[in-house]
Structure 1
Amino acid sequence: MAINPAEWKLGTYWDDKEPHTLEQIKEAGFACIELNLDNYKAPSDTVTIDNFARYDRAVQTAKDLGLEIWSVHLPFGSLWDISDLDDAVREPALEGNIEIMDWAKGWGAEVLVIHPSFEPIPDGERAERLARASESIRLLTGEAVKQGLRLAVEDLPRTCLGNNAAEIAAMIKEAPEAAVCCDTNHLLTETPEDFIRSIGSRIRTLHVSDYDGVDERHWIPGRGIVRWGEVMRALVDNGYNGPFMFEADYENPREVVASFRAILDAYSEADLREQ
């Protein structure tokens, strides 16, 4: 069956610190959200009864509005680094992620997005950190499968692990059921469309935003250098079929929806050039 990006569900990240409400997101035309949890805190301070109740209230509000909880972004930061060489850091991070999987399953999410590291990663530690991250991904993927969830490893910028397609592929090699989250504004040494073609059908979800190619910016698409027609063609060629999940900084959700329409126009124009 032919893939039509115009039929993809439109999504956006959201947490309760955003300037826009879930009601505004729904009214703008979004169909699903990625729920962001608190970052940078210790797992013991994040995975608490009070925090679960807070997140759960947001989830119930979203569902009452008809918004799907497509994905949950697992916490990140130095205390959540699954590549850390110190087991006193790494093991609580793994345990915290596994506990959150219970929450995500109850919320009806399909995907868990995870950062394979924090930063900086010294050159002398990179190989060992990649091995630790791979081991952690294999373990967490198995736990996610037990819950009926897909773990999606996100590409990251700068010195982080997974800053190119080759490292992402290496980290998921021993976890065949692991997926990938393609963040279009994190890739500083290759284009998003090249990354997508390299990773292929293992891309299960997206973080869509624009940038200047120098560092991550999380701009609304159209402001930066991303060639959206080529990105869409790569996604379609690889069989991706949504959702189109934004992770851009914005105040007005309607601006983001308008940028999606512009992306569809760029995709149509790219198709015409190929004919």
Structure 2
Amino acid sequence: MFKLRKLILITFTAFLIVTSAQAQRYKIGISIGANSLTKKKLKQISDAGIDCVETGLTPYINKDSLTFILDDAEMMKKMRELKQSATEMGVEIWSIHMPYGKEIDISFVDETRRQKVIAFHQQVLKYVAVLKPKIILFHPSYYLSLNQRDIHIRQLIKSVEELNKNVKTMKATMVIENMLGPALLVAKGNQERPLMRTVEECLAIFKLLPDDVYAAVDLNHIANPEKLLLALGSRVKTLHVADGDGQAERHYFPCDGKGQNDWKAIFNALKTIQYQGPFMYESTTANLEGYLDCYRELLKLSK
């Protein structure tokens, strides 16, 4: 009898723990460049109830030449100082947004250009490894030439397999972000939109990617983003939170009322897929306290 009561007590306690964990809010995060993350700014972030940040090294990079504005020793010093300040202020460096652009495309068809980008990213990873991030986020491509989508996908897969080795060495997780793509062609009709522009294309590409490479879903890049969340399911490891209409890079702050996202549907999708990552804003508001306030407002709307 005693054993039965003990078993019931253990089971009930476990239930309470699970229920309590489910009731906890998502961590709140914001996207901010590494050059802006001073000790003072990190304290302000922490005081505003923000738990974590996504950052990147773009301010330290010459995008056209794929070089850094500081030398190796200075970059390493910057990263060590940033990590120490974040630790002291209790702010987690959750994710790194890797550089991207016309000359930084991991799906380049030209192998020499692709290899140059891989080497550049490996250098970036060397620096951000000091920050001990959980997530390393890449764009799948830049804009594409006409009728070369399949070969860009093959090059993307090749690059992901190479870079994922570096990411795993850091004990981090690689994620690929969905891109904007209301129509295949850009307005002038002389280029195609980047890879992973639709639910269908995201699913097709993720079937080709290694199982330990996951997804970042940008809620501003696609109309009805809840459909993409549900389609990708447990592969969603992080978010870019912004409002939009899926037609252009809006990055509206969700509580400004400018976008078309259905936040109730989004929260329901996050619950359905048992999303465990932070509510990572890639949109801005007037004051840091506004991020947590907005999250609470959206949460009320979703009930």
- The TM tier, using the shorter chain, reads 0.7 to 0.9
- After superposition, the C-alpha distances for 1:135-183 in whole angstroms (9 at most, x for unaligned) are 2112222332232111000011131111122222333323111011111
- Match of residue 122 from structure 1: 145
- After superposition, the C-alpha distances for 1:174-214 in whole angstroms (9 at most, x for unaligned) are 31110111110011xx4110000111100101110111332
Provide the alpha-carbon RMSD of the alignment.
2.3
Q: Aligned match of 1:186 in 208, 213, 221?
A: 221
Query: Which has the higher Rg, Structure 1 or Structure 2?
Result: 2
- Match of residue 68 from structure 1: 92
Describe the SS at the equivalent of 1:4: helix
- Match of residue 4 from structure 1: 22
The answer as to whether partners of 1:11 and 1:246 remain within 8 angstroms in 2 is yes
TM-score (norm: length of structure 1):
0.88
For residues 71 and 134 of structure 1, the distance between their equivalents in structure 2, rounded to whole angstroms, comes to: 21
Q: How does 1:190-269 map onto structure 2 within 5 Å?
A: 190-222=223-255, 223=257, 224-268=259-303
The answer as to whether partners of 2:79 and 2:130 remain within 8 angstroms in 1 is no
Q: Which amino acid letter does the alignment assign opposite residue 199 of structure 2?
A: A
1:122 deviation in Å? Answer: 2.7
- Match of residue 132 from structure 1: 155
- Match of residue 102 from structure 2: 78
1:51 deviation in Å? Answer: 3.4
The answer as to whether partners of 1:105 and 1:148 remain within 8 angstroms in 2 is no
For residues 70 and 101 of structure 2, the distance between their equivalents in structure 1, rounded to whole angstroms, comes to: 14
Number of residue pairs aligned between Structure 1 and Structure 2: 265
The answer as to whether partners of 1:131 and 1:171 remain within 8 angstroms in 2 is no
The answer as to whether partners of 1:220 and 1:256 remain within 8 angstroms in 2 is no
For residues 69 and 122 of structure 2, the distance between their equivalents in structure 1, rounded to whole angstroms, comes to: 13
1:46 deviation in Å? Answer: 6.4
Larger relative contact order (Cα-Cα within 8 Å, sequence gap ≥ 6): 1
Structure 2 residue ranges without an equivalent (≥5): 1-17, 182-192
